[in-house]
Amino acid sequence: MEEKNSFEKIYDVVKQIPKGSVASYGQVARLAGNSRWARVVGYALHANPDPEHIPCHRVVTKDGCTSRAFAFGGGDRQRELLEAEGVEFEGDHVIMQEYQWETPFY
């Protein structure tokens, strides 16, 4: 059996983020097995081969900011997708204390 590469591990984590929740890049990195992969998470999401099944729009910065380089329609598109799932913003930040995915690391 082949071991999964870093992108595959990241995609497996992102697929688990519930609708209406967000996770930070660092949170996804830790859950994928390496707390130093936050930047790798960004690369993986930018290369997302299946945005319909890998909800990369649910990954934001630790402060709740959406990506300015959101790969599938620009930064405003990420916010639109999150708001459509019921995620609320305060200014330009997701309200992390309400919408951050609860995992063993947070």
Using 50, 70 and 90 to split pLDDT, how confident is the model at 39?
very high
d(CA 92, CA 78): 12
pLDDT mean over 52-72: 88
Using 50, 70 and 90 to split pLDDT, how confident is the model at 106?
low
Using 50, 70 and 90 to split pLDDT, how confident is the model at 75?
low
Q: How far is CA 40 from CA 1, 6, 37, 86, 87, in A?
A: 24, 8, 5, 27, 25
The third-level CATH classification (topology) of the domain covering 6-99 is Arc Repressor Mutant, subunit A (1.10.10)
DSSP 8-state code for residue 20: T
Q: Has 56 been annotated as catalytic?
A: yes
Instruction: Return the domain boundaries, the chain.
Output: 6-99
Task: Exactly one of 45, 56, 60, 87 is catalytic; name it.
Answer: 56
